[in-house]
Amino acid sequence: METQEPVDYIIVGQGLAGTLLAHFLLLENQQVRVIDFPLPGRTTGIAAGIVNPVTGRRIAKSWRFEELTAFAKQTYREIEAMLGIEIWHDRQIVRALHNNFEESEWLRRSAFPDFAAYMGDEPDMRSFEGKIHPAHAWGELFQCAQVALPELIESYREHFVQQSIFFEEIFDYQQVGFENGRVGYGQWLAKKIIFCEGAKAVENPSFNKLPFIVTKGELLLVRIPGADFDKILKHHLFLVPLKNDLYWAGSTSRFEFDDMFPTESVREWLIGELEKTLSVPFEVVAHHAGVRPTVADLRPFLGLHPTHPELGIFNGLGTKGASLGPFFAKQMSDFLVGKGILDADVDIARFEQPQKPGGHFFKLNHPD
């Protein structure tokens, strides 16, 4: 039997979670190996990467926004300098208010001290004049950003390849073995395997009992010649400036779906929403679909398996991954190398026992 190479961590999945966790572990001089295979339904490669302080129809404040966003910006700026790329873009969000109720709710919320710094009701709309259909009223969100997640993933993958630590293959759960407190897989014997698989985690026999909520989203990439929008627009859908007259338009969210591929009916719906938003011509360049892992309590999954602590998980970043990812990747890295603990809000131990009388109980599977 061939001797396995000792390493510190095997990371399975090179989406946003896996990329950022590898980033921080490498900064700790850990020996890391990254395994990934591009399968249909990946979301990081098509995500808009919006960082938004106030979200949803209820105009709710994003969880721990100040703390998470400050750390995210610092991290992305450091990665930009290291890889020679540009991924963090400060952008305001202009949001359509479609009726009297939405306008009054916006004004009410913006008067709250916790919201006032992020919300305005007199946005500068000059870049949109003559290019979009009017709305009842407009609001503006400040201290927002757009993170070029596809560029981040692609550039970091090239970096991993150059370092000879990236391996493109489908992970085989049946090949995991345990030996004297370490975990073996293929040519390696590691301290731990950390699964950062996105929605594929529902197939992982060690962690598929966690309460994932898998949703499918679809979006369009469109070209709007001469639009030159300098802000993100939220009208009938989101329009996010990318580059060269290219915009991200979307997205949808469905809990029930047959596959992970783009759907013609959704494409037509998105085009219809664009036509209700734009008053100038546009060209559909691409139609993408992805399946994202969200979580029942809207908090990420971090932690180790209760029976086999050689296995861990970092997942469940959901639609706020651009802001959540850096902070919790650093927290997971610190936890793994013995420099910190996991927040109770994100530790998967919160599902190992009922949180209150009558609460849910999620028992994790034990690997064979």
pLDDT at 106 (0 to 100)? 96
Boundaries of every domain in the chain: 1-90+146-210+296-368, 92-143+213-295
Residue 363 above 70 pLDDT? no
Within the chain, residue ranges assigned H as helices are 16-27, 65-83, 100-110, 113-116, 149-162, 264-277, 321-336
Residue type, 289: A
Q: List, in order, residues 6 or more apart from 101 with CB less than 8 Å away.
A: none
Q: Which CATH class is domain 1-90+146-210+296-368?
A: alpha beta
pLDDT at 364 (0 to 100)? 61
Label the pairing between strands 188-195 and 182-185: antiparallel
199 near 40, Cβ under 8 Å?
no
Q: Measured between alpha carbons, how far is 227 from 305 in angstroms, rounded to an integer?
A: 50
pLDDT at 353 (0 to 100)? 56
pLDDT at 357 (0 to 100)? 42
Q: Mapping DSSP to helix (H, G, I), strand (E, B) and coil, where does residue 294 land?
A: strand
What architecture is the 92-143+213-295 domain classified under in CATH? Answer: 2-Layer Sandwich (3.30)
Q: pLDDT tens digit string along 91-110? A: 999 999 999 999 999 999 99
Least confident of 10-24, 46-60, 65-79: 46-60
Is the sign of the CA dihedral 348, 174, 33, 5 positive or negative?
A: positive
| Stretch 262-270: mean pLDDT | 95
Tell me the pLDDT band of 238, cut-offs 50, 70 and 90.
very high
Reported as type and span, the H/E element at residue 278 is none
Residue for token digits 């979670």? 17
Residue type, 303: G
Residue type, 145: A
Residue 359 above 70 pLDDT? no
pTM listed for this prediction: 0.93
Residue 161 above 50 pLDDT? yes
Spatial strand order of the sheet with 232-234 comes to 119-120, 137-141, 93-97, 232-234, 238-241, 246-250, 212-223, 283-295
Q: pLDDT tens digit string along 278-318? A: 999 999 999 999 888 888 788 999 999 999 999 999 999 98
Q: List, in order, residues 6 or more apart from 158 with CB less than 8 Å away.
A: none
- Could you tell me the CA-to-CA distances from 337 to 20, 58, 72, 179, 310 in Å, in that order? 15, 40, 21, 20, 13
